[in-house]
Amino acid sequence: MECYTFCFVKDIFGYKSSRCRSVLFVIGSILTCGFLLLLFYWRPEWDVWSKCIQCTLQEADIVLLRTTDEFKIWTKKKVMWVQLSFPSSTARADQQHSLFSDETSLLHRIVIKPDLKVRFIEIQKIRYIWDLYEKQFIRAERLIFGPNVIDIRISPIWKLLCKEVLNPFYTFQIFSVCLWLSEDYTEYSVALIIMSFISIAFSVYDVRQQSIKLYRLVETHNNMMVTICRKGGGYEKVPSSELVPGDVFIVTGNKQVLSCDAILIHGGCIVNESMLTGESIPVTKTPLPSTVSCSSWKSSTEDYKRHILFCGTQVIQSKATSEGEVRAVVYRTGFTTTKGELVRSILYPKPIDFKLYQDAFRFLLCLAAIATIGMIYSVCILVLNGIPPGKVVRKALDVITIAVSPALPASVTIGIIYAQERLKKKGIYCINPQRINMCGQLNLICFDKTGTLTEDGLDLWGLVSTKGKGLQNIFKFNNGDTLPWGPLFGAMVSCHSLILLDNTLQGDPLDLKMFEITRWELKENTMLKLQNEETHSFIVKPGPKANKFHERFQLNCSVTQSKALKIAHAGISLSEQEASVASPFTSKIPNIDCVPQLIKEGRAALVSSFCIFKYMALYSMIQYVGVLCLYWQANTFGNYQFLFEDLAIATVIGITMSFNHAYPQLDPNQPPGQLISPPLLLSVILNVILSLVLHVFGFIMVQQQPWYTPTDIYRACNPTNLTSDGKTTSNKTTDTIAIALRNEDSYKSYENTTVYLLSLFNCISTAIVFSKGKPYRKPIYTNYIFMIVLLAQFGTCLYFLFGKHETLYNALDLVCTPRSWRVYLLVMVLVHFTVIMAIEEILIENRCLKVFLTKCCKVKSTQRYKKMQRIITKEPNWPPEDDTDYTTSCTMDEAALEAYSNMNYEHDKDSKTASNGFANTTSKQIEEGSSKKDNI
C-alpha cells in the first residue's frame, strides 16, 4: 500500500525579504488601524508581494506556493536551515570524508560546505530539501528523518478562538456591531454578539474535539518499545521514536502494533489491517524474495504489498523459519508512513469543490455591488437634504450592513446543522458537516464489496461456468448436491485467502463460504522456500465427506478502502475501526440503509440552504429598498423598527425554516445545485423588483391621500382638521407642535409607517413562498414550529396595522392613519403575496414548463453519463453481439464528451514515477532575478 502526499502539484516562487518594504508595511498597518495586517492574513500572497522582492529559489528566504488545481490556493513558507553535527573533531573529519567523497551521492548534493548546513522547507509535515545541483526542492523523507512520531498538537483554545474570530465573516460582524453601537442600536447588536459567541464556541469545541480524537488515534504509536538488531549480532530495545529507515527489528507477534512501515525480510506473519481496510479479516504477509533488486522490487507484476507491514496494523501471529526470528526492515517513518499519510489527509483536507459555496461568494459580491450603488445614492440625497457629514457617513455605511446582512453567510449552514442532528438520531455520524449538502447532489453510489450490499451471512446459491463467449448451465447448491470433480472444484478449494488462526478458519466471508461448500479441510501451516523465495503455504485435503485433492496455494493481502473514502465526495464507513476517521460519515447501521437516508437528508439540507439563502437575501433587499425610499426624505427606520424586523421576524424565520424533515421518498430528479442558475436568479430578481414596486407604490400613494401632510403627523386621525371635501386645513398651532416633535424624533412620518408595515408583511409572505416542501422536504404544514411562528408574526403585524395602541406606536415610531388606508395596505400586501406565489409555483418551480423550454431550445445535458447515453442511443450496433468487435464498432459522435480524470489518482500515479522521493519537475532554469517555477 503505497501512499504519497495527497496535495496537488504546486508552483513555487522565490522571494527575498526587504527591510524598506517591511517598514512601509508597518506604517500602513498603523494608518489603517490594523486592517492591512488583517487583509494580508487573509491573503498571504499579498503579504509576500508587498514585503518581499522576487528572486531565484537559491537566494530566497521566503517561498510562495500555489496549487495547480482549480482552487489556486497560495501558501507562504519560510526557508529553514538544519546544522549537521559530529561528536568530535577527529570523528568529524573521518565522517566528513566518508560522507562527501562520493560526488554522486544525494548527501553530497544537499549539504552546504564547509558549514555543513542543509536548506529546507516544510509543507504539511513533510520536509523538502534544497538540491544544490538541480536547483530545486526535493522530498526528504528518507534523508532527514527526524523522530519516528506522528506529532499531533492540540491547539490551545485561545488560538482557536483567534483564528475563528479573524474569519472574514466575523470581521464583518464586528464592523457592523461597532457601527450599530455608534448609532445606539444596542439591542440587536447585543443579540448578534450573543449569537456569534455561541456559534464560535460550538465551532471551537468541534475543532478541538476532532483534534483530541486524532491525537488519541496516534498516541500509542509514539510510545512503544521495539527490539532492533545490531550489526554485531546483538539486540537492543529502543523507543519506537528512534527508528529510522534501514533499521532491522524483530516482529514478535502477540498483537504487536507496528510503529512504522516495514518490509518483511525473514519469516512470515498474519496481521490485522482493520485500521486501513475497516475489516478485521486477517492478512498473511510473506518475506520479500532475496533475488529482487532494490530498484525494481515495487515495479514487479506481483503484488508487492504482501511484503509490507503497514504502520498501525496489528501483528496477530508471527511464523519463524529455519533462518531465525521474523525480521523486518524499517521502510518509512513518521508522517511518511501509510498511517501518517492518512493523518495528514485529515489534518490538511482538500477544499470542498462544491458549486454552492462558490456561488454564495459571487452572490455576496453582487449584493456588495448593489450596496455600493445604494451608498452613493444615500450620500447624494442626504447631503442635498443638509444632513451633517458625520451622520451622512454613518447612514451610508448603514446601507452596506442592510444590503449585505451579517447573518447571510451563516444562513447556508443552518440547514446542515439540523440535518446533522437528524442523521445522528438515525445512527449516522458526520465529522465534516459541509459534506451533507454534497450528499444532496450525489448521482453515483459505489459499493465496495459483498457484505456491504447484503447481510453479514452469505449463502452459495449456485455456480456458472463459461465456455467460449457463452455461459453454461447453472449448478445449484441449495439441494445439498456436491460439485463434481473438475477444474472449478480445484479452484474453489485452493484459490482463496483463508488461514488457520487458533485452529479456526478465518478470512473473507465469500472465500469462507466457497471453501465450506467443498467439504474439504485446511490443515497445515508452513513456510516453504520455492526458487529462492519464501512462500506462506497451506495444505488442503478432503474432509470426511469430500473427494481427494491436494493443492498448495499462496495468499494475497486485502486492499485498502481508506483512500477511496477520502477521495469520494461523501464516503460512508460502516465500521467503527480507525479507517472510519478518514471517512466523512460513519454509520452504526451495518448495511446500506444508511445510503438513502444520507441522500434524503442531504437533499433536504441542500434545499433548506437554498431557501434560507434566498430568504435572507430577499429580506436584506426588502429592508434595503425601504430604507432608500425613506432616505429620499432624509428619514429612515427607527432602532426599534429595525430590532423587531431583524430579530422577531427575519432571525426567527431563518432559524425555524429548516425544521422541515426530509421527504420519506427519494425523487428521481436531483435538487438544483447552483445558486447562480437561471431559475434562482429569475426568482430573486423578480421578487426584488416586485418588492421595489410595492414599497415605491406605497410611498407615492400615501402622499396622494387627502389627509396627508408632511408637517402634521397627527392630523390624519384628527377629523377636526379635515374640511367637508376631505382636504386638510391649516392649523399653525398643530403644525408648530408637529414640527417640534419631528425635530425631537425624525423617524415618525406617514411614509415611514406605510413603508415599514409593507416591509414587515413582505418579509412574512416571502418566507411562505420560499419555504419549499415536496419532493425533497416534508410540506410546510408539517413544520409545526415554523407555522406557529408565521401565524404569531402575521397576527402581530395585523395588530400593528389595526391596533392603534398609543404606547406601542410611540415605541415603534408609528403614526395613526385612517382605517381605509390600513385596509388599502392589507389589500396591497395580499395582491403582492398572490403575485409572488404564482410566479414561484407557475414559472420558477414548474417542471413541465422547464421540460418544455428545454425541448424547445434543444438544450442538452452536459453531464457525462447523459452524453454517453445519447451516444449509445444513436449507435446501431449496441449492445454488442457475441461475434461483434465492439472495441472498434462504436462511433463517438459527441465532441463535447471529455474523459473523466480523477486528479487524486493522477497525482498518485505521477508521484509513483518519481524516484527516490524527488519532486516531479520539468522546469528549466530561467534568468537570474526571476522566479523559478518548479513542481513539488
| Catalytic residue ranges | 448
- Assess contact for 50 and 85: CB atoms under 8 A: no
Distances (CA, A) of 717 to 97, 689, 721, 810, 818: 104, 32, 9, 15, 6
Q: What angle do CA 478, 483, 487 make, to 5 degrees?
A: 140
Side-chain-facing half-sphere of 70: CA atoms under 13 Å: 10
Least Cα distance to 150 among 282, 230, 240 occurs for 240
* Angle value at C-alpha 845, between 840 and 849, nearest 5 degrees: 115
Q: Looking at this protein, which amino acid is placed at residue 285?
A: K
**What are the residues whose beta carbons fall under 8 Å from the beta carbon of 174, sequence distance 6 or more?**
165
Rounded Cα gap, residues 761 and 829, in angstroms: 7
CA-closest candidate to residue 399, choices 425, 376, 424: 376
Q: How far apart are CA 507 and CA 283, in angstroms?
A: 8
CB 49 within 8 A of CB 74: no
CA-based radius of gyration for the chain: 36
Residue 503 DSSP label = T
Q: Which one-letter DSSP state was computed for residue 648?
A: I
Q: What is the rounded distance in angstroms from the CA atom of residue 310 to the CA atom of residue 262?
A: 7
Neighbour count for residue 245 (Cβ, 10 Å): 19
* Grid coordinates given for 46: 499579498
Sheet hosting strand 314-319, strand order edge to edge: 256-257, 314-319, 268-272, 282-285
| Complete DSSP assignment for 44-74 | HHHHHHHHEEEE-TTT-SEEEEEE-STT--E
Which alpha helices (DSSP H) does 448-593 contain, by range? 487-494, 509-516, 562-567
CA 902 to chain centre: 17
What single-letter amino acid sits at 709? T
Calpha distance 110→127 (Å, rounded): 13
Cβ of 312: how many Cβ atoms within 10 Å? 26
